[in-house]
Amino acid sequence: MSDKRTEIGEIGEFGLIDHLNESIIIKNSSTVFGIGDDAAVIDSGDHVKVVTTDLLLEGVHFDLSYAPLPHLGFKAVAVNVSDVAAMNAIPKQITVSIALSNRFSVEAVEALYSGINAAAEHYGVDVIGGDTTASRSGLVISITAIGEAKKGQLSFRSGAKVNDIVCVTGDLGGALVGLQILEREKQVYLANPEMTPELDGFQYVTGRQLRPEARMDIIHEMREMEVVPTSMIDVSDGLASELFHICKASGVGVTIYEDKLPIDKQTFDTAVELNLDPITCVLNGGEDYELLLTIDQKDFSKLEKHPDIHFIGHVTKAEDGKLMVTKSGTVVSLKAQGWKHF
C-alpha cells in the first residue's frame, strides 16, 4: 500500500467494483461467470446455478421511522429475487444474515421475519441459513439468493445485438416518488408530532418504495412463450444507469423514445406536485425492480400484446451512442445519474 489516497467518490461504486475485479483470478472451471452481472453463474452438471447477494443498511437503504419491519423483510428478499430474475433463472434458496442493536426485541425480529417468510412463500424459495450478530449502529440485513436455470437459458447483460428491441416491464419512477413522499411526511411529523402523516392518495408510490415486487411473473410467462431475452438487467439504480450497463457489457448503443416510457398516473401527478420532472424520475429513479431486457425481433410477436411489457427503443451500434428521442422529436444524449451512495 502506498500513501496515495483516492476518494471512493472519485471512481464511483461501479468504478470501484471494476477496479477490485482486476485483482481477482478465477481458479475453478465450475465458475462460469463471476463479477459483472446481476448474479454469478456456477456450473452444476446438467444445469447452472446463479448466486447473488445484497446488503441493506439502516440509515442508508431504509428508514425504520416509515418502513414497517414486515415490508422491509419482504423487500430484502424481493431485491435478491429480482437479481435472479434478471439472469432469467428461478430462485430456489436464500440465506438471511442480520445484525441487530439492543434496540430490537424478539417481537421486532419476528415482525421482520414475517415479511421474509411471506416473500419466501410468494417466490417459492427456502430459507436455508444465515448469520446473526450484534450491531452498534442499527439494523443490517444481508440476503444471498441461489437460483437455477437450464444451460443456454440464461440472459446476461452482454448479449444485446444491434436491432434488438429494448423492453421494460411495469412502470418506472414510482419508488423514487414514493420515497420523496415518505421523506416529506417524516419532516412534517418531526416538526409537529401532533400531525398525522398524509399518505392518502399516495398508496401506489409508497408501496413501490416500501414493498417492491420482483418480476418473476414475467420470467415464467416468457418461459411459457419460449422467449429468452438476448440481454437483461433489473432496474435497481434507474433506467438510464441500467441501459449504460447493458450497452457497456454488450458493446452496443441504444435509442429510446420518451413517449414510450411507462409511467403510472399517480407517479406522474405526484412528481409534478413535488416539483420533480416525471421523465427524470423514470430515467434516474431507483428501486423500481422492474426488468430491462432486449429481445430478438423474431420474438416481438410473442410479447407484442403483453399488457405489462413496453417496447421503448432499439439497440444500435456503439458509435451511434446512447440516445433518447424526446416527445418533440429532439435527440438528446442519455446520462446515467443513477443512485449514488458515495
Contacts (Cβ under 8 Å, ≥6 apart) of 305:
none
Burial class (CB in 10 A: 0-12, 13-18, 19+), 283: buried
Question: Does residue 60 touch ligand ADP according to CB under 6 A?
Answer: no
Phi then psi for residue 208, to 5 deg, are: -60, -35
Residue 242 binding target from Mg ion, ligand ADP, none, CB below 5 to 8 Å by type: none
CA distances from 40 to 31, 35, 53, 234, 335 (A): 8, 6, 10, 15, 27
DSSP characters for 233-270?
A: EE-SS-HHHHHHHHHHHHTEEEEEEGGG----HHHHHH
The stretch among 32-40, 70-78, 246-254, 262-270 that binds ligand ADP (CB under 6 A) is 32-40
Sign for the CA dihedral angle at 120, 228, 250, 212 comes to: negative
Rounded CA gap, 277 and 280, in Å? 5
At its nearest, how many Å lie between ligand ADP and the CB of residue 54? 6
Q: Which stretch binds ligand ADP (CB under 6 A): 30-38, 99-107, 140-148, 289-297?
A: 30-38
**Quick check: 234 binds Mg ion (CB under 5 A)?**
yes
The Cα 180–Cα 121 span in angstroms is 30
CB 322 to Mg ion: min, Å: 19
Choose among ligand ADP, Mg ion, none what residue 37 binds, the Cβ cut-off being 5 to 8 Å by kind.
ligand ADP
Residue 168 CB, nearest approach to Mg ion (Å) = 14
Tell me if 236 contacts ligand ADP by CB under 6 A: yes
One-letter amino acid of 291: L
Which stretch in 147-155, 202-210, 230-238, 301-309 sits in contact with Mg ion by CB under 5 A?
A: 230-238
Q: Is residue 287 a contact point for Mg ion (CB under 5 A)? A: no
Q: Which does 321 bind (CB under 5 to 8 A by kind): ligand ADP, Mg ion, none?
A: none
C-alpha cell, 248: 457497456
Q: Which does 60 bind (CB under 5 to 8 A by kind): ligand ADP, Mg ion, none?
A: none
Q: Is 36 in the site for ligand ADP (CB under 6 A)?
A: yes
Tell me which stretch binds ligand ADP (CB under 6 A): 33-41, 57-65, 317-325, 330-338: 33-41
Task: Provide the binding-site residues for Mg ion, judged by CB under 5 A.
Answer: 38, 83, 234, 236
